[in-house]
Structure 1
Amino acid sequence: MEAGAGTALYPLHRCKTIYLVRHAQGIHNVEGEKDQTSFMSPALLDAHLTSFGWNQVDCLREHVTKCGLAKKIELVITSPLLRTMQTAVGVFGGGNCTDGVNASPLLMAEGAGHSGRQAISSLNCPPFLAVEACREHVGVNPCDKRSSITKYRTLFPAIDFSLIENDEDVLWEPDVRESDESVAARGMKFFDWLWTREEKETAIVSHWGFLYRTLNMYGKECHPTVDEELGKEFANCELRSMVLVDRR
């Protein structure tokens, strides 16, 4: 039997499992399907989820709970935009708060971000960490500009914002849109940073552009069939499992 040149072995302790999630449907997704220029509307500033988007969140939550994935995840990393944080806490959080349950601090305050939802508990769920590096293309489109961290802390008290240096969004510029190449480079640096953390199973809730551009860069080093699979666009609230390995 001849050895297969395309196979490789890695010790399990040198691998991490990551669960990549694109945020659920936001109000900007609906408007953008009608007219691409609507992404520049000030009315879509820091876009929140639609009611259909929350239904998507509920479906994905049911899936990760039934398959046991929810119990495996040690950390949830989220982009610090309203739609990603709503998706993250809705899918991986401790569930709706009920009378008599002490869930302080809350993962999400009641009705946060025009959600019309009950408060979400921080009980029996992994920690949540907001990271700027995994946000969407920055600049020009108001839907991709985040609100202040001061505001977010009132809406999502149990999310850790300690890695974000500036209260206001200093990365977003009204006249300059971040390039695809910059997003991809930022994404690869993010995964290099993720490798240095101790968690073995991490969920990352991010955006179409960030996921698409970053995975396409990784795909260039792979077989064409793998490249094609990595390069597929994420649907709203889609989850994909990947293994992260340091080949160096």
Structure 2
Amino acid sequence: MDTNVEPLSSIGTAPEAGVTAAHHVFTVLKGFFLQDDLDTDPEGFDYNDPDLNFGLINRAYDTDASFDVSLQKTQWQRFERYVSDLNFESPKNTQYKILFMGRHGEGYHNVAERYYGTAEWDRYWSKLEGNGTVTWADAHLTDAGIEQAKTANAFWKRGIRDWGVPAPGRYYTSPLDRCLATAQYTFEGLGLPADRPFVPEVKELLREVIGVHTCDRRSSRTYIESHYPAYKIEDGLTEDDELYSPSHRETTEEQVTRLRQLLDDVFTHDKSTWISFTSHSGAIAALLEALGHREFRLPTGGVVPVLVKAVA
């Protein structure tokens, strides 16, 4: 670690409000999604391709014999029943959830990094508020990023209507604007079931790598409340970004620890089986590592589903 920067412990940790100290043992159940398979190349993998069915593998389940006697159910409907039975038959300390991890659409910081190159971006430009023409502090979506989120919206609409993809029971989003906006464009207007409304909760721990890069410094709580009034904001979210430091950027180990804390929080307090996370490339990579999933890098606007077993 650079001796000229502050250790993360000196700038504080995420708010404790609503976060449990419990620890789960997480296991990714393989053989259900193509994204779990090491033979699946993440490069160019298009979750939006209808032939890929969101990556859900065409296979039989133990519950098919009693649930789909007439062979009329879709793959997703049969999978939903299978997961429901897993939870019904599991002991009290064990639960199964499907996590839909979606990366935000393209932001102005993504454009700037491509323009300047990653080396120069990390060395100099990422530490500025912008370049005089474009602002990337708490980066907002570009027009292309908005279209990526709208593509995701069309995908979810088709998936729920035609394939039987279950709508998430809960929605969580990073407090950074590009994720707040992506979640809104992705899930609003889907005609969701009455018992699964789109009421996203803003989670501090779900944010991108913390520190140095201004694009990863969030706006105030007041800003989030005024621009996204329908969103629920967790109690521990402070008015100003108390986690951001201009002199220290989280290490991978620190980030994985933070995202594991988020998973513990969600698996302890949320009884929903189908959950959506709207987050960032680095945060999703850390989530996958915390779960024991293979590395699966997402493009802006990409989504990866994961079936997770958690034992408390």
Give the TM-score normalised by structure 2. 0.62
User: Distance in 1 between the 2:298 and 2:144 partners?
Assistant: 17
Q: Select the residue among 117, 129, 134 that pairs with 1:42.
A: 129
Q: Select the residue among 285, 297, 302 that pairs with 1:212.
A: 285
Aligned pairs for 1:79-118 (under 5 A) are 79-94=174-189
User: Distance in 2 between the 1:70 and 1:91 partners?
Assistant: 15
Residue of structure 1 equivalent to 2:242? 170
Residue 64 of structure 1 and its aligned partner are, at CA, apart by: 0.7
Residue of structure 2 equivalent to 1:202? 275
Residue of structure 2 equivalent to 1:67? 159
Segment drifting more, 60-69 vs 33-42: 33-42
User: Distance in 2 between the 1:218 and 1:242 partners?
Assistant: 9
State whether structure 2 residue 92 is matched by structure 1 residue 17.
Answer: no
Matched to 1:245, the amino acid is K
Q: Select the residue among 259, 284, 296 that pairs with 1:232.
A: 296
Matched to 1:201, the amino acid is W
The 3 A distance-change label for structure 1 pair 148 and 25 is: same
Give identity over the alignment, percent.
Answer: 25
- State the number of aligned residues: 205
Matched to 1:28, the amino acid is H
8 A Cα contact 1:94 1:125, kept in partner: no
**Superposition RMSD on alpha carbons, in Å?**
2.2
8 A Cα contact 1:23 1:87, kept in partner: yes
Matched to 1:232, the amino acid is F
Could you list the structure 1 runs, at least 4 aligned residues long, displaced by more than 4 angstroms after superposition.
none
User: Distance in 2 between the 1:89 and 1:144 partners?
Assistant: 19
Residue 125 of structure 1 and its aligned partner are, at CA, apart by: 3.4
Residue 41 of structure 1 and its aligned partner are, at CA, apart by: 2.2
Q: Which ranges of structure 2 fall in alignment gaps of 5 or more residues?
A: 1-29, 32-61, 63-82, 88-94, 131-135, 191-195
Residue 94 of structure 1 and its aligned partner are, at CA, apart by: 3.1
User: Distance in 2 between the 1:138 and 1:174 partners?
Assistant: 9
Residue of structure 1 equivalent to 2:308? 244
Residue 245 of structure 1 and its aligned partner are, at CA, apart by: 1.0
Once the two structures are superposed, what CA deviation does each residue of 1:162-208 show, in whole Å capped at 9, x if it has no partner? 33331000000111111111111111121121112111111000111
8 A Cα contact 1:19 1:239, kept in partner: yes
Matched to 2:281, the amino acid is W
SS at match of 1:57: helix
8 A Cα contact 2:221 2:237, kept in partner: no
User: Distance in 2 between the 1:94 and 1:164 partners?
Assistant: 29
Residue of structure 1 equivalent to 2:173? 78
Matched to 1:51, the amino acid is D
Matched to 1:88, the amino acid is A
The 3 A distance-change label for structure 1 pair 41 and 70 is: farther
Structure with more relative contact order (C-alpha pairs < 8 Å, separation 6 or more): 2
Q: Select the residue among 202, 207, 214 that pairs with 1:142.
A: 214
Matched to 1:24, the amino acid is G
Max Rg structure: 2
Residue 92 of structure 1 and its aligned partner are, at CA, apart by: 1.1
Residue 213 of structure 1 and its aligned partner are, at CA, apart by: 2.5
Residue 70 of structure 1 and its aligned partner are, at CA, apart by: 7.4
User: Distance in 1 between the 2:287 and 2:237 partners?
Assistant: 23
Residue of structure 2 equivalent to 1:120? none
Residue of structure 2 equivalent to 1:101? none
User: Distance in 1 between the 2:108 and 2:176 partners?
Assistant: 13
Aligned pairs for 1:187-198 (under 5 A) are 187-196=259-268, 197-198=270-271
Residue of structure 2 equivalent to 1:102? none
Residue of structure 1 equivalent to 2:70? none
